[in-house]
Amino acid sequence: MKNLLAFAMILLGGAVPLAAQNGAALAPAQIVAAAPRADWRPIASKDLLVMELAPDASGKARRVVIQLLPPPFSQGWIDNIRTLAAAHWWDGLAVTRVQDNYVAQWGDPDGEDKAKARPLPPGLNVVPEQDYTAPLDQSVPAAALILPHGDAYAPHTLLQGGWPLGRDAGGQWPVHCYGMVGVGRNLSPDTGSGAELYAVIGHAPRHLDRNIALVGRVIEGIELLSSLPRGTGALGVYETRAEQVPIRSLRLGNAVPGLPAYEYLATDTATFARYADARANRHDAFFIHPAGGADICNVPVPVRRVPAR
Amino acid sequence: MKNLLAFAMILLGGAVPLAAQNGAALAPAQIVAAAPRADWRPIASKDLLVMELAPDASGKARRVVIQLLPPPFSQGWIDNIRTLAAAHWWDGLAVTRVQDNYVAQWGDPDGEDKAKARPLPPGLNVVPEQDYTAPLDQSVPAAALILPHGDAYAPHTLLQGGWPLGRDAGGQWPVHCYGMVGVGRNLSPDTGSGAELYAVIGHAPRHLDRNIALVGRVIEGIELLSSLPRGTGALGVYETRAEQVPIRSLRLGNAVPGLPAYEYLATDTATFARYADARANRHDAFFIHPAGGADICNVPVPVRRVPAR
């Protein structure tokens, strides 16, 4: 298995923290494994969404955990999602679409049929398009790690408050990296309510930045969505009810008994800066040609279950 | 299903060519659908690899078709792959590793156990690391579409001869986009023989560029690899033989009776330039904020089965 294990050097977050190679620089996963406890920040359970899909064919439970974006990003849609989760609105609905190298999407299979659609709870916000972008945080760059590398989609990319962002002179916005969760919508000026959600399961579709609301990211269980069979209908839509994957429940984390606690590696720490630099400049044993850069979506923010203390 | 169908506007290559929106600019898929026949170039069957996996649980056949890179790229490894395919070397071996947001890998499950490994055929090349990069093609930029946007990994990115490339003053090289196929290896200076192959099934791991040999890309059936269950071992390795996905056969295309013909959209055509521009600047009805750029891996080269003439 040496061919496989050699890949240990090119991976973030292998299952086992890697022993330092003799004389070689630390790999990103090693830097993360050595992070001081104080560099990890808690994620409040009220800022998590927990989606329980129906068990798989072998009876195994399938849980997807999503972290919601903090202010000032997308709070109108996130308020709606809190309302929908509190109303148990998604229970019994389904994953309805899985398109290869793009998205897995869930919501009401009958959402476009007025006679059959599940009614939305009262009080949902109608959010305007300008909320795709948040005002510039004047504390940037002090509290952010700005990636000094080229990006095809934004004048600047940065990691701030634990999130990957794009930025220009007018504002900043979350970006569509692998695992990010967004709000399906119809044609503009509709921005979606938050009832129809998708997760990115392929190469970052960054052209969606500022065109669709992002509301969070999958921090556990993305592989349960990304390994689902692709729908054979146009755009990966499941063509029959039998193909759809039922949602047992979707709850805010503080409504889920026994939910583990989660932490993320704070992006304003020296550890994170070392980790990002190691992602951009691989000097560990496997590599012969460090890239000299990394795109924002190849510097994923490490998240872990809180270890025993 | 309006929420879903709205996504038609943000997709390349939906199953059905999209009708032009009233007054809106053409979407990339529409530009491709309208390409003149002369803009499509044949892919010779001898430059294809056809991998037949064991049928899925429902008995459905699973075929993955790979296009090999043309000269001057990676020909030492590709020669080996031709030798291995002609020897039927992969038949009865398996997909042994599927790691989420990274790669699916196939080869000899016993490859690292000298007592059990399948012997390699004679005459394989030992290829040096300098072959990760090819000499600069002096016809560039005349025959290439250079993407004028930022890239974190290469001074320039371009599409030339139907392939995504990085370039600097010293040479050019293929890049690790979704679906690209590369050669597993051990630690440097080993560069791999070509017996152990992987396909990218996640966000482009561009830090591997010039560190591993790329030999081609999946042009049909990538979803059969990307939707496989993720391995639960370190690095996504399947921990039991039962989890591995057997390879029935792996052949060069000219050894596969009845193989369809394939074409790619030539990258040196006005059609391709319009398509790339539309990928970078979405003005079709769904979009409110064209990105103004696209990264090299978000301008996938369209490939199709040859339509009836």
Per-position pLDDT tens, chain B of length 309: 334 333 322 332 332 333 334 446 899 999 999 999 999 999 999 999 999 999 999 999 999 999 999 999 999 999 999 999 999 999 999 999 999 999 999 999 999 899 999 999 999 999 999 999 999 876 656 567 778 788 999 999 999 999 999 999 889 999 999 999 999 999 999 999 999 999 999 999 999 999 999 999 999 999 999 999 999 999 999 999 999 999 999 999 999 999 999 999 999 999 999 999 999 998 888 899 899 899 999 999 999 999 766
Q: Which residue has the higher pLDDT, A88 or A293?
A: A88
Tell me whether residues A8 and B234 touch, CB distance under 8 A.
Answer: yes
pLDDT at A174 over 70: yes
Chain A residue whose CA is closest to B151: A150
Give the per-residue pLDDT at B273: 94
Tell me whether residues A233 and B206 touch, CB distance under 8 A.
Answer: no
Tell me whether residues B6 and A186 touch, CB distance under 8 A.
Answer: yes
Phi and psi at B208, nearest 5°, equal -80, -15
Structure tokens at B79: 């020669």
Contacting residues of A for B234, CB less than 8 Å apart? 5, 8, 14-16
Give the per-residue pLDDT at B141: 60
pLDDT at A8 over 60: no
Q: Could you count the other beta carbons within 10 Å of the beta carbon of residue A110?
A: 14
CA–CA dist B198, B113 (Å, integer): 20
In our burial notation (b when 16+ CB lie closer than 10 A, e otherwise), range A250-288 reads bbbbeebeebeebbbbbbbbebbebbbebbbebebbbbb
pLDDT at A142 over 60: no
Contacting residues of B for A187, CB less than 8 Å apart? 6, 9, 285-286
Tell me whether residues A184 and B209 touch, CB distance under 8 A.
Answer: no
Residue from B260, B257, B250 nearest B216 by CA: B250
CA–CA dist B192, B81 (Å, integer): 11
The pLDDT confidence band at residue A164, using thresholds 50, 70 and 90, is very high
Name which of A192, A210, A223 is nearest B289 (Cβ-Cβ): A210
Q: How far is CA B75 from the centre of its chain?
A: 16
Structure tokens at A215: 């509301």
How far away is chain A from the Cα of B101, in angstroms, using its nearest Cα?
Answer: 7
Give the per-residue pLDDT at A141: 59
Give the per-residue pLDDT at B197: 98
> Tokens 């053409």 belong to which residue?
B26
CB A205 within 8 A of CB A239: no
Q: How far is CA B133 from CA A146, B69, B210, B269, B297, in A?
A: 30, 13, 6, 25, 19
Tell me whether residues B2 and A112 touch, CB distance under 8 A.
Answer: yes
Contacting residues of A for B21, CB less than 8 Å apart? none
- pTM (2 d.p.): 0.93
Residue from A152, A194, A142 nearest A175 by CA: A152
CA–CA dist A223, B229 (Å, integer): 8
DSSP-assigned letter for residue B134: B
How far away is chain A from the Cα of B188, in angstroms, using its nearest Cα?
Answer: 6
Tell me whether residues A295 and B152 touch, CB distance under 8 A.
Answer: yes
Give the per-residue pLDDT at A139: 64
Name which of A14, A132, A152 is nearest B234 (Cβ-Cβ): A14
CB B159 within 8 A of CB B165: yes
pLDDT at A2 over 70: no
The pLDDT confidence band at residue A137, using thresholds 50, 70 and 90, is confident
Chain B residue whose CA is closest to A294: B152
Tell me whether residues B279 and A177 touch, CB distance under 8 A.
Answer: no
Name which of B151, B227, B233 is nearest A152 (Cβ-Cβ): B151
A107's CB contacts (< 8 A; 6+ apart) are: A90, A93, A96, A184, A195, A196, A197, B3
A31 sits in which H/E element: helix A28-33
How far away is chain A from the Cα of B71, in angstroms, using its nearest Cα?
Answer: 22
CB B61 within 8 A of CB B55: yes
Chain A residue whose CA is closest to B189: A288
Chain B residue whose CA is closest to A108: B1
Q: How far is CA A55 from CA A67, A204, A243, in A?
A: 22, 28, 14
Best A7, A110, A112, A127 residue to mutate vs chain B (most B CBs within 10 Å): A7
CA–CA dist A129, A187 (Å, integer): 12
How far away is chain A from the Cα of B83, in angstroms, using its nearest Cα?
Answer: 20
How far away is chain A from the Cα of B161, in angstroms, using its nearest Cα?
Answer: 22
Q: Could you count the other beta carbons within 10 Å of the beta carbon of residue B75?
A: 18
Tell me whether residues B4 and A222 touch, CB distance under 8 A.
Answer: no
Contacting residues of A for B100, CB less than 8 Å apart? 222-223, 226-227
Region A104-128 average pLDDT: 96
In our burial notation (b when 16+ CB lie closer than 10 A, e otherwise), range A177-213 reads bbbbbbbbbbeeeebbbbbbbbbbbbbbbbbbbbbbb
Tell me whether residues A185 and B285 touch, CB distance under 8 A.
Answer: no
Coil vs helix vs strand at B128: coil
- Write the burial class of residue A34 (CB in 10 Å: 0-12 exposed, 13-18 middle, 19+ buried): middle
DSSP-assigned letter for residue A139: T
B145 sits in which H/E element: strand B144-147
Chain B residue whose CA is closest to A157: B152
CA–CA dist A249, A256 (Å, integer): 10
Residue-wise pLDDT for A247-293, tens only, equals 999 999 999 999 999 999 999 999 999 999 999 998 888 899 899 89
Residue from A163, A194, A171 nearest A49 by CA: A194
B75 sits in which H/E element: helix B75-86
Residue-wise pLDDT for A59-82, tens only, equals 999 999 999 999 999 999 999 999
How far away is chain A from the Cα of B3, in angstroms, using its nearest Cα?
Answer: 5
Chain B residue whose CA is closest to A204: B203
Tell me whether residues A297 and B6 touch, CB distance under 8 A.
Answer: no
Give the per-residue pLDDT at A306: 93
Chain B residue whose CA is closest to A13: B235
CA–CA dist A252, A45 (Å, integer): 7
CA angle A64, B14, B144 (to 5 degrees): 105
Q: Looking at A11-83, which runs of residues are DSSP E strands?
A: 40-43, 48-53, 62-68
Give the per-residue pLDDT at A45: 98
CB A183 within 8 A of CB A212: yes
